[in-house]
């Protein structure tokens, strides 16, 4: 039997509503069982796989009421067409859609990232996502976007304060590693690779710029002064530094 046919057969055995419990609200949300099971393989497994949630018709989630309502807006068919992923809700939607395997919402998040122009305002976030989700089922998308983000940071390293950007990414990666009680993890290893790649690209660009300058008339004259008139060269350098 096809996977979608199996899903519909399982859903047909569910009650009409499931009571979703969140962390900061006493009254549960009454949500159609079909909406939950079609939106998430995780929820479908919990409700139809012989677990306690299927028996009690209660689904406890590790989210706040506000967070669940944002996600629910994207899952409800009538509301979903009106809601859009943007910079203000992306972080929450990314976290919850991967945590609960919300495939439709994952796609919307990736579409937003893919259509967003890389800039000083989002390169830190994109580097972080590229590292964090590198081992997910959607790793090809994040691997490609990580490469683009590294190229941007290398090209704009001094304009966007690349070192500060990388330090902020490192802090977020360390926080992720701490959640699994690991001083090092594939995330921290990948972060180290990203830093090495970016700094190597910056050095390469710098050397290319120096070589290009040295091939100009001004550059050649300066090299000649440095060799033949070192005292004049030192004077010029002190003047530039001051």
Q: Give, in order, the Cα–Cα distances in Å from 185 to each of 165, 169, 176, 177.
A: 21, 15, 9, 6
Determine the Cα–Cα distance for residues 24 and 218; give it in Å rounded to an integer.
Answer: 68
Determine the Cα–Cα distance for residues 133 and 141; give it in Å rounded to an integer.
Answer: 9
Counting other chains too, the contacts that 162-166 makes at CB distance below 8 Å and 24 or more residues apart are 162/198, 162/202, 165/123, 165/124, 165/127, 166/127, 166/194, 166/195, 166/198
Determine the Cα–Cα distance for residues 16 and 215; give it in Å rounded to an integer.
Answer: 76
- The per-residue pLDDT for range 98-126, each reduced to its tens digit, is 999 999 999 999 999 999 999 999 999 99
Local structure of 88: helix, strand or coil:
coil
For residue 29, the tally of other CB atoms under 10 A from its CB is 17
**Within a domain: residue 16?**
no
Q: Where are the beta strands (DSSP E) in 35-193?
A: 58-60
**Within a domain: residue 213?**
yes
Environment class of 79 (CB within 10 Å of its CB; exposed 0-12, middle 13-18, buried 19+): exposed
Judge whether 32 and 23 are in contact, CB under 8 Å: no
- The per-residue pLDDT for range 36-91, each reduced to its tens digit, is 988 999 999 998 888 898 889 999 999 999 999 999 988 887 655 678 899 999 99
Residue 229 DSSP one-character state: -
pLDDT value for 221: 66
**Within a domain: residue 53?**
no
Kind plus residue range of the DSSP H or E element containing 169: helix 162-179
**Within a domain: residue 189?**
yes
**Within a domain: residue 5?**
no
The percentage of the chain sitting over the pLDDT mark of 70, rounded to a whole number, equals: 78
**Within a domain: residue 72?**
no
Whole-structure pTM value: 0.77
- In total, how many domains does the chain have? 1
**Within a domain: residue 77?**
no
Task: Let me know the angle formed at the C-alpha of 84 by 171 and 36, rounded to the nearest 5 degrees.
Answer: 85
pLDDT value for 184: 57
29: which strand partners? Answer: 20
Judge whether 125 and 169 are in contact, CB under 8 Å: no
For residue 6, the tally of other CB atoms under 10 A from its CB is 12
Kind plus residue range of the DSSP H or E element containing 183: none
**Within a domain: residue 222?**
yes
- The per-residue pLDDT for range 219-233, each reduced to its tens digit, is 666 666 677 667 655
Closest CA to 38 of 88, 76, 95, 89: 76
Average of per-residue pLDDT values in the chain: 84
Domain region containing 142? 118-242
pLDDT value for 13: 53
């Amino acid at each position: 039997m096809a996977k979608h046919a199996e899903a519909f057969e399982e859903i047909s055995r569910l009650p009409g509503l499931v009571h979703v419990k969140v962390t900061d609200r006493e009254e549960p949300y009454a949500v159609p069982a079909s909406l939950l099971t079609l939106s998430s393989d995780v929820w479908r497994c919990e409700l139809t796989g012989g677990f306690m949630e299927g028996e009690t018709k209660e689904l406890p989630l590790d989210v706040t009421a506000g967070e669940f309502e944002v996600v629910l807006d994207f899952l409800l068919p009538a509301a979903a067409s009106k809601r859009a992923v943007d910079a203000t809700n992306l972080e929450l939607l990314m976290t919850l859609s991967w945590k609960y395997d919300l495939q439709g919402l994952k796609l919307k998040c990736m579409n937003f990232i893919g259509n967003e122009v890389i800039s000083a305002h989002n390169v830190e976030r994109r580097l972080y996502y590229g590292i964090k989700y590198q081992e997910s089922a959607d790793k090809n998308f994040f691997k490609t976007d990580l490469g683009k983000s590294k190229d941007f940071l290398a090209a704009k390293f001094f304009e966007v304060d690349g070192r500060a950007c990388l330090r902020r990414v490192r802090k977020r990666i360390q926080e992720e590693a701490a959640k699994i009680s690991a001083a090092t993890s594939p995330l921290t290893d990948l972060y180290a690779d990203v830093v090495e790649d970016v700094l190597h690209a910056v050095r390469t660009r710098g050397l290319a710029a120096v070589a290009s300058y040295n091939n100009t008339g001004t550059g050649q004259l300066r090299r000649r002064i440095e060799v033949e008139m070192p005292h004049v060269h030192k004077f010029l350098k002190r003047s530039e530094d001051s």
